[in-house]
Amino acid sequence: MNFLIADSFTDSLTRLTGGEQNAVKNTAFDLQLNPARPGMKFHKLDRARDKRFWSVRVNDDIRLIVHRSSDSLLLCYVDHHDKAYRWAERRKLETHPKTGAAQLVEIRETVREVVVPTYVEAPAPAVPEQRPLFEGHDDEQLLGYGVPDEWLPDVRNATEETLLGLVEHLPAEAAEALLELATGGQPRMPQPESADPFAHPDAQRRFRIMGNVEELARALEFPWDKWTVFLHPEQRQLVERDYNGPARVAGSAGTGKTIVALHRAVYLARTNPDARVLLTTFSDALANALRSRLQCLASNEPRIIERIDVHSLTAVAQRLYRLNFGAAKLADDRTIATLLQEASENAPEHRFSRSFLQAEWSHVVDAWQLQSWEDYRDVARLGRRTRLPEAQRRLLWSIFETVRARLSERELVTEAGMFARLTEAYGNGRSVPFDFAVVDEAQDIGVSQLRFLAALGGERPNALFFAGDLGQRILQQPFSWKSLGVDIRGRSRTLRVNYRTSHQIRMQADRLLGPSVSDADGNRDDRTGTVSVFNGPPPILEVFESPEEEQAAVGRWLSGKQSAGLEPQEMGVFVRSADQLGRATAAVESAGLPFIVLDERGDGAAGQVSISTMHLAKGLEFRAVVVMACDDDVIPLQERIETVGDDADLQEVYDTERHLLYVACTRARDHLLVTSVAPASEFVDDMRVSGFGDKL
C-alpha cells in the first residue's frame, strides 16, 4: 500500500501547537508502520461527499483526516475535531478528466460566495462593470489548465475584481494558469503522463509517496519548507534537465530559484555517485543558509551530503589556494585604502576622489587583474562608464601601478588575485576539484569569481548551473559573462510563480523595477508574467515628520502584529545602512519586543525580531517586514551620488539602490510597512504611483 502525504496536511500541521504537532507525528508514524494496527481509531465520515475520507483520533480533540483506498493511504489534513470534519466535508479527491492529475477539489456547493477579501477600511470607489476575463476560452481549454469541471461556471464569469478570491479555491495548477492568462501570458497545458494520477507532475507538487519512516520524519520535521517534499513541475524540469553548457534559472524574488539550486545540487550528486558537487554563493551568511537547507532536504542521504561542498566562493578559493600554493596573505579593504591614499598623495595633480579611486581599483583594475598600462587603456568599461581621457587614465594607472608594486613587496594578494591564480592553474590542466558547481544569487558574483568558475567547467555539459535575479543585483556592476567563457544564451529559463510574497506586496515592490531587466550579453528577464499564488493586505507606506514619530508608529505596528498572533522571529526590520540601525532598534524597543541585530553571518534567533541592513537581507524571509528610514538622503545614499562623475555612472547608482529597496521589501510574505521621515525617498513615491504591475 502506498503511504502519501498532501501539502494541505503539512500546511495544517504548522498551525498546531508544538505538543499537538508531536502527537500528530507519532500517529502518522504509527499509520505508516501498520495502518491496520488494532489501536488505530478510524472513524468514517458519513457526511463527507467523498466516502473514502476517514478521521483518525490523535488525542481527545485533534483529528487526522486521511483518504483510504485499496492501494493507498493519504494524509490530507489535521486540526481540532470540528474544523477537521468541516474540511473533509468540503472536499473530494478526484482524478482530473482532462489532465489525469490527482486533485483535492473544494466542493462548489459549500462555497456560498467567491469574493476578493477586503483589507481596506474605506469603501472603494465605484468602478464600471467589468467583463469576464476568460470569455474567449472554451471549456476544453479551461479543463486543459486543470480547472475542475464543477468550477467552470465560476471561472467563465470571473472578472478582475473576483479572480483573486476565486483562485484560492482552485487546485494550484489551475490557479496559476488563470492568473497567467489574466496578465497576458500563455500558461503551459498539462498533459497526462502516467496512468497513475499521483505520478502526474501536477499531482507530485501536492502529493508525495513516503517510502519509509525516515523520509516521513524528514517531511514532518520541516513542514514549513514544503519544497523539501513538493516541487512545481517547471522547477522539477529545470532540476533534472541535461544542459550542454552553462545554464541559469532566473525569476523575481520569491519564485523559488534557491529551491531549484538546492534540488539541482542533490540531483547531480544522486545521479553521479562518484562526483563532487560545489554548492556556493557570494557570502558566508548565504552559504550557511544553504547548508542548513541542504541538511533539511537530504538528511536521510548522508553519502550525498558528504559529496556536496557548501561554502561561499571566497571560502572555497581560500581553501583551494592553501592546498595549491600555501596560505594566502590577503590584503584587506583597509590596507588597500591606505595604499591608494599614499599613492594618490604622490600624484598631487590628480583630482579624483578617494571613493572614485577605490571603486576604480575594485571594479576595474583588481577585478579584471590588469597587469599593464595597455591593459588598463584598452579594457572594456561596462561596469565603470565614466569617460576618461587618455591623459587622465595614464595618471590613474600610475597610482594603481604603485599600489600593485606595494602589494607585491609585502607579498600580499587581493581576493581577485587569489581567484586569478587558481583560474590560471586549472586552466593550464591542473585537475579540477569539482565535477559540478551550482551557484545561488549569481547576479552578485564578480569578474574574478566567474573566471574561476569558467575554469572549473565552462564548456562541460551540466558543469555550471546558476540561479539569480538581475533585479536583485546589489553588489556587482554589470559585465559580460560570455566574454569570460560562460555563455548561458539558450539555456536560461525564468520562473514565474511567486510562492513567498503576497500578490499585493509583489505588485507594490515591482513598481521599483521595470517590466524587464537585461544583462550585458543581451539576456533578458521578462518580469511581466510573474504571478503570486496567495492574497494579502496591501503594503502601508507612511511618511513622518520626525524619527521619533516614525519609531513610535513602527513600534505600534509591530505590537499589533504580535497581538494578531505573529511571533517575534516572524518579523524583520531593515534599514539602508548601519547609520540607521539606531532608529530600527529604538522602534523595536518601543514595542517591548526582543531583537537581534544581524551580522555578516546572518544568524537570527528564536523569539527575537531580526534587524539588519538591506545588504544582509538576501536569503531571509519573514511574515511581517518593516523597511525603515527611507528618507530622501538615505536611499539612494547621498554619499554614493556625490562621488559620481558621469550620468551613466549615476544611473548605475540609482539602479543598485532601487534593487536594494526591492530586496528589502520582498523579504515580506504577508505584511509590509515602509516608513520614512519627510522628505521621503523618490523611490517611495515611485511605489505609490500607478504603473507597471497595477493590473493583475
pLDDT digits (tens, 9 = 90+) for 44-70: 999 999 999 999 999 999 999 999 988
Which pTM does this prediction carry?
Answer: 0.81
**pLDDT reading at 425 higher than 90:** yes
At 603 the pLDDT is 62
Of 669, 661, 682, nearest to 575 by C-alpha is 661
pLDDT in tens, 647-681: 557 788 888 999 999 999 999 999 999 999 999 99
Cell triple for residue 227? 519544497
Distance from C-alpha of 155 to C-alpha of 59, rounded to nearest angstrom? 40
**pLDDT reading at 455 higher than 90:** yes
Q: How far is CA 428 from the centre of its chain?
A: 37
Cell triple for residue 496? 514565474
**pLDDT reading at 228 higher than 70:** no
pLDDT in tens, 98-136: 999 999 999 987 555 555 444 444 455 555 667 888 988
Residues 670 and 535 sit within 8 Å (Cβ to Cβ):
no
Of 583, 581, 515, 578, nearest to 547 by C-alpha is 583
**pLDDT reading at 276 higher than 60:** yes
Distance from C-alpha of 96 to C-alpha of 344, rounded to nearest angstrom? 72
Mean pLDDT for 219-247 is 79
Residue 551: burial class (beta carbons within 10 Å; 0-12, 13-18, 19+): buried
**pLDDT reading at 387 higher than 60:** yes
**pLDDT reading at 25 higher than 70:** yes
Residues 232 and 497 sit within 8 Å (Cβ to Cβ):
yes
